Amino acid sequence: MILLTDRQMSIQSFGGSFKGLLDEFHRRHDGRGTALDLVKLIADTFPAFRDEVYYEGTKGLSLFLSTS
């Protein structure tokens, strides 16, 4: 199970299920949300899914690029 302690607290605000999170996503975006909107909701809800770095005092997204 992916949802552990702090994540369980977060998912509880959506009725205790991922379906509840999706229902809230559709409600917030009037059924017209994008994949990026969904990723933002998930990252806001579950901080462990944020992929942020600080470089020279500036916060940004970490991008994993293949060098092969």
Find where tokens 């205790």 sit.
16
- Left, alpha or beta for 33 (phi > 0: left; psi -120 to 50: alpha)? beta
Does residue 7 surpass a pLDDT of 70?
Answer: no
Residues ≥6 apart with Cβ < 8 Å to 30: none
- Supply the pTM of this predicted model: 0.62
Residue 36 DSSP code? H
Q: Per residue in 27-42, pLDDT tens?
A: 999 999 999 999 889 8
Rounded CA-CA distance 3/9 in Å is 9
Find where tokens 């293949």 sit.
66
Residue ranges per domain, the chain? 5-61
More confident residue, 52 or 36: 36
Rounded CA-CA distance 56/53 in Å is 10
